[in-house]
A = this chain, B = another copy of it.
Amino acid sequence: MSKYPVGLEETVDFLKGLPGIGRRSAERIALSLLNWPQEKLDTLAELLHELKERVTFCPECHNLAEDGGVCDICASAGRDRGVICVVEDPGQIINIEKTGLYHGVYHVLGGKLAPLQGKGPDALHLDTLRQRLAAGNVHELIIALSSDVEGRATALYLADQFQSETIKITRLASGLPAGSDISFADSETIAAAFSGRVKL
């Protein structure tokens, strides 16, 4: 036996396409699946089969939603529709919501501009964002993209496209993470913290 049985190899091939899962982890996972009771495997298979039917994207902001409707946030009456926070992925909305500080709505871009990977403005959800801004009640667009090169380029692109007399465009502050030690901060972060320093 120089390789695994076909059914296991095929499962490993699928699993190793998942983020953070290499060949060795995929093998470990597939071997452990063999020890699951059949009904548990069937439930997981059923969940995967129905996943995209049950979990859909909000037609308004592209956040995760259920059964084709708008998402919880767009459906909520208590959110300020005058402020839109632009994020990359739906997963980041959960993190921002945990702070309980933001009461506006969101717009999920579905990525960042990355010309080298062939990802131009067409690959992002910009049309729906343009429509939402054209509707006229939005006064602020908060850009909450990661502060790497692609994130900053995307932020500049958005500012260039949507900045107007009625729409203010802001980005989240850069600086030292809360509770962090300057000894472990990289110089770019320290530079950002210096230039963005605030009066006590």
Contacts and interface: CB of A to CB of B under 8 A. Distances in A.
Nearest to A93: B1
Copies of this chain present in the complex amount to 2
Contacts of A195: none
Contact of A55 (B1, B18, B34, B71): B34
Interface residues of A, number: 54
B7 A51 contact: yes
27 contacts: A1-B64, A1-B73, A3-B94, A4-B55, A5-B54, A5-B66, A6-B54, A6-B66, A7-B66, A8-B55, A8-B64, A11-B51, A14-B43, A14-B44, A14-B47, A18-B29, A19-B29, A20-B28, A31-B90, A33-B51, A41-B49, A41-B51, A41-B52, A42-B48, A44-B45, A44-B48, A45-B49
Given A19-B25, A45-B49, A48-B48, 10 more contacts: A1-B71, A2-B97, A4-B64, A5-B54, A7-B50, A11-B47, A18-B33, A31-B91, A33-B48, A41-B49
Interface of A: 1-8, 10-11, 14, 18-21, 25, 27-34, 38, 40-52, 54-55, 63-66, 71-73, 89-91, 93-94, 97-98
